[in-house]
Amino acid sequence: MHIHKFEKIWLIFGVATLLVFLSVIGVSAFYLGNQPPSCLATINPEQVDTQAPFDKPGLNKVEGKEWDYELVFVASAFNYTPGEVEVPLGAKVKVLATTKDVVHGFNVAGTNINMMLEPGYISEFVTTFDKPGEFLIVCNEYCGAGHHLMSSMIKVVE
Amino acid sequence: MAQPGLEKRTKTKVEDSSSLKGTLASVFLLGFFLIITWVGVFLLFLNRF
């Protein structure tokens, strides 16, 4: 079969690019251990308030884990608990969030923290808060009449 | 009878119709656009917390 020289060039280029893109995802998933925010951790949505760690929403210091703090959020129509929280600059934090009723969004604007909260599932994201400032949390999954009023705030302070 | 047109015959460059130069250029233009935007989004991901 005759393949034009130029065709060979762009076929090799295309396949190589694809391999690079897929390798990045592969390294991220299997070497760095990144996973989707909602990854099979479950909870009874009717007993969220009584189950750890969601019985104590807010920033909790933890010992003996890969992260220093756990930042716990409970979403319900149409607010987040806590409504505002302070995080020390440079803290390694695991953000844990779930919902008591319908599907909500959890998007910390201007950061990589962007999760969907589904009833019955716990969404998690581990990160280091290395930039000071105020970060608005908004719901980006339409959840009902008060959807646009649903917000919270993370203040990263020194 | 003089035929002045005969002496002025200009050579026009005729490219082989099976040439893939333009295709190569457009494929790489698209390819580099995809790579630049992909790298841009990836850097944005790395720079945020």
pLDDT mean over A20-34 = 92
Which of A17, A111, A129 is closest, CB to CB, to B31? Answer: A17
A-chain CB neighbours of B45 within 8 Å are 112
Whether residues A45 and A21 fall in one domain? no
Which of B21, B28, B45 is closest, CB to CB, to A112? Answer: B45
- Confidence band, pLDDT 50/70/90 cuts, at residue B7: low
Whether residues A94 and A46 fall in one domain? yes
Whether residues A3 and A43 fall in one domain? no
- Give the distance from residue A9's alpha carbon to the nearest chain B alpha carbon, in angstroms: 9
- Confidence band, pLDDT 50/70/90 cuts, at residue B6: low
Whether residues A60 and A83 fall in one domain? yes
Question: B35–A17: do the CB atoms touch at under 8 Å?
Answer: yes
List the single range of A13-22, A34-43, A65-74, B2-11 with lowest mean pLDDT: B2-11
Tell whether the model's pLDDT for residue B1 goes beyond 70: no
Question: B20–A127: do the CB atoms touch at under 8 Å?
Answer: no
Whether residues A3 and A79 fall in one domain? no
Rounded distance between C-alpha atoms, residue A41 and residue A103, angstroms:
16
A-chain CB neighbours of B20 within 8 Å are 4, 6-7
Rounded distance between C-alpha atoms, residue A106 and residue A98, angstroms:
9
Question: B31–A7: do the CB atoms touch at under 8 Å?
Answer: no
Q: What is the mean pLDDT of chain B?
A: 83
Whether residues A60 and A138 fall in one domain? yes
Whether residues A29 and A48 fall in one domain? no
Whether residues A86 and A11 fall in one domain? no
- Confidence band, pLDDT 50/70/90 cuts, at residue A118: very high
This complex has an ipTM of 0.76
Question: What's the number of domains chain A is made of?
Answer: 2
Whether residues A42 and A16 fall in one domain? no
Helix (H) or strand (E) holding B26: helix B21-47
Question: B23–A24: do the CB atoms touch at under 8 Å?
Answer: no
Domain membership of residue A70 as a residue range: 38-157
Whether residues A44 and A114 fall in one domain? yes
Which of B23, B38, B49 is closest, CB to CB, to A6? Answer: B23
pLDDT score recorded for residue B4: 62
Give the CATH number for residue A147. Answer: 2.60.40.420
Rounded distance between C-alpha atoms, residue A118 and residue A78, angstroms:
14
A57 contacts: CB under 8 Å, gap ≥ 6 = A72, A73, A74, A81, A82
- Give the distance from residue B37's alpha carbon to the nearest chain A alpha carbon, in angstroms: 12
Whether residues A25 and A82 fall in one domain? no
Are the C-beta atoms of A109 and A136 separated by less than 8 Å?
yes
Question: A13–B28: do the CB atoms touch at under 8 Å?
Answer: yes
Whether residues A2 and A76 fall in one domain? no
